A and B are shown apart, each in its own frame.
Chain A
Amino acid sequence: MGMSVLDRERTIAPRGYNRWLIPPAALAVHLSIGQVYAFSVFKAPLVEHFGTKLTPIGLIFSIAIVMLGLSAAVCGTWVERSGPRKAMFVAACCWSAGFAVGALGVATTQLWLVYLGYGVIGGIGLGIGYISPVSTLIKWFPDRPGLATGLAIMGFGGGALIASPLSDALLSTYATNPADAIAPAFLTLGAIYLVMMMLGAFTVRLPPDGWRPVGWSPERTAERHLVTRGNVTAANAIRTPQFWLLWTVLFCNVTAGIGILEQAAPMIQDHFATVSAAAAAGFVGLLSLCNMSGRLVWSATSDVIGRKPMYMCYLGIGAVLYFLLATAGTASVALFVLLTGIILSFYGGGFSTVPAYLKDLFGTIQVGAIHGRLLTAWSAAGIAGPLIVNGLADAQSAAGKSGADLYTVSLLVMVGVLVVGFIANLLIRPVADRFLEPVEDERFRREEPARRAPRRTATAERS
């Protein structure tokens, strides 16, 4: 019974618990696992330490991202069943153990151990940690799911902002040559993230059964198009066209964003000869800030304008911005930075709005598990995006092009990718009733919302 403190039943909040005490638990986890986006800090020291090239070192990150998608998809149902505390606990153990095994690999110069540690074990921690707080937040904030998931997933973007200077500081503290400081830096990061994620795990709470925010009723939000009042299981969700259309939407949004992220620093320098290496690093930092803030701002906006219109903006306006970048990007540095900044904010918003979109379409009972399955789109885009971008850039270079011309074709291809996503989003309709779980309380069926007046329930709690 040693694990009982982790059980779902032990995680239920007492009545009257302030729901604003839940987001920091989610943030603690996402800020920790967001370190993966700052992995590039270790690339050059790892290349030197192992005496190898960039490709085998880059594989560490790729394995971690693929494992993120796979573990989120495979473990999603377990996460939903076990509750957020046990899931966060396991994620914390995997993520920090990944650093420890990775450090062992570095210390013994065994690259396969780094693949196994940071890539496989850490990657499993990433996947479980990413989805673990999402459905909990949606349950606490049924009136503002976009804001709630935006807060958590903003943490994933913010994690890189913290880890990047922190890793630099650790590498320069432990040794004069960063290549000799990787193992202790890994161990330190693993220890910090273990503490942070455990704090999150033991802070998270589930709302009591039947809990609702004061003055809120599902009837009111269900009047909005696309918002179901039924529930769909994860097994059924993947049989619906809506799931695969949304998969396509996420895949297209991520692929296009990677088009900029992958080559942000060389891109601005190829567009403007006056931009120094330090300024290019500042540009990458600015894009990270836009990526992070977009996750919160646009996701919260989707609570007001609706999920489908929000994705029409991400993909439709995004396509226009990419086109402008391809055709008028060289006009001025300010215009270039403005266009790419908005594009990256849409990229981040696409990640954080998707759980709320899933909640609208499939209900809340297994939204975490469905989200996990959807994240395979991220893994696929993580492989496809760089392949398209790097392949096209190499082809342009081989054709003798240089400067901004190197990127024109890949930017225009991304316009096409976004248009495909835009059409997929347009095709999303409410989920057919045959996929909904049978419910005893027919208030929760979608077909009858208009006939029932909104009402407060006896279980409503102060929020």
Chain B
Amino acid sequence: MRSDDSANSAQVRAMALWVIVSAGLLYGVVNTFAKVVDLFGG
């Protein structure tokens, strides 16, 4: 079986990507919640 790079570096990259996509989602959710506050409290 061939792979383009070592399993280790691929796993590290994948874990870093988990962090990046989670941070992105958090940014979106927090910004959206800021608007939602206007609906009930604003």
Q: Mark A12-24, 1 if CB is under 8 A from B, else 0.
A: 1111111001111
Q: Which of A282-290, A370-378, A382-390 contacts B (4 or more CB under 8 A)?
A: A282-290
Q: Taking A9-B2, A27-B21, A282-B42 as contacts, is the C-beta distance between A162 and B27 under 8 angstroms?
A: yes
Q: Which of the segments A197-205, A392-400, A404-412, A446-454 contacts the partner chain?
A: A197-205
The answer to whether A282 touches B25, judged by C-beta atoms less than 8 angstroms apart, is no
How many chain B residues touch A (CB < 8 A): the figure is: 29
In the complex, the chain B residue whose C-beta lies closest to that of A169 is B31
Interface check A281, CB cutoff 8 A: yes
CB < 8 Å: which of A5, A24, A278, A281 contacts B14? Answer: A24
Chain B residue nearest in CB terms to A205? B10
- A276 near B42 (CB under 8 angstroms)? yes
8 A Cβ contacts from A222-281 to B: 275-276, 278-281
B42 partner residues in chain A, CB cutoff 8 A:
276, 278-279, 282
Cβ-defined contact, B25 with A21, below 8 A: no
Q: Is the CB of B11 within 8 A of A285?
A: no
Flag if A5 contacts B29 (CB, 8 Å): no
Query: Which chain B residue has the least Cβ–Cβ distance from A277?
Result: B38
Please name all residues of chain A whose beta carbon is closer than 8 Å to the beta carbon of B33 when the two chains form the complex. Answer: 285, 289
A162 & B24 in contact (Cβ 8 Å cutoff):
yes
- Which of B7, B38, B40 is within 8 Å of A281, CB to CB? B38
- A158 with B28, Cβ < 8 A, contacts A202-B13, A279-B42, A283-B39 known: yes
> Roughly how many angstroms separate A31 CA and B22 CA in the complex, as a whole number?
10
Closest residue of B by beta carbon distance from A162: B28
A337 to B28, CA, bound (A): 20
B3 x A24 contact (CB < 8 A): no
* CB-defined contacts of A456 to chain B, threshold 8 Å: none
What chain A residues lie within 8 Å of B18 (beta carbons)? 21, 23-24
Residues from chain A with Cβ under 8 Å of B28 in the complex: 158, 160-162, 164-165
Q: Knowing A10-B3, A14-B1, A162-B24 touch, does A25 contact B36 (C-beta < 8 A)?
A: no
- Asked whether, in the complex, the Cβ of B20 is within 8 Å of the Cβ of A289, the reply is no
Return the chain A residue nearest B29 by Cβ: A161
* Complex contact A25–B17 (CB within 8 A): yes
Q: Which residues 160-188 of A sit at the B interface, judged by CB distance below 8 A?
A: 160-162, 164-166
Q: List 18 A-B contacts (CB under 8 A).
A: A5-B4, A11-B4, A17-B7, A21-B15, A28-B17, A31-B25, A155-B21, A158-B25, A158-B28, A162-B24, A165-B27, A203-B10, A279-B39, A282-B37, A282-B42, A285-B33, A285-B36, A286-B39
Q: Which residues of A contact B (CB under 8 A)?
A: 5, 9-18, 21-25, 27-28, 31, 155, 158, 160-162, 164-166, 196, 199-200, 202-203, 205, 208, 275-276, 278-286, 288-289, 337
17 extra A-B contacts, CB within 8 A, seeds A28-B17, A208-B1: A5-B4, A10-B4, A12-B1, A21-B14, A21-B15, A21-B18, A31-B25, A164-B28, A164-B31, A199-B17, A205-B3, A279-B38, A282-B38, A283-B36, A283-B39, A285-B33, A285-B35
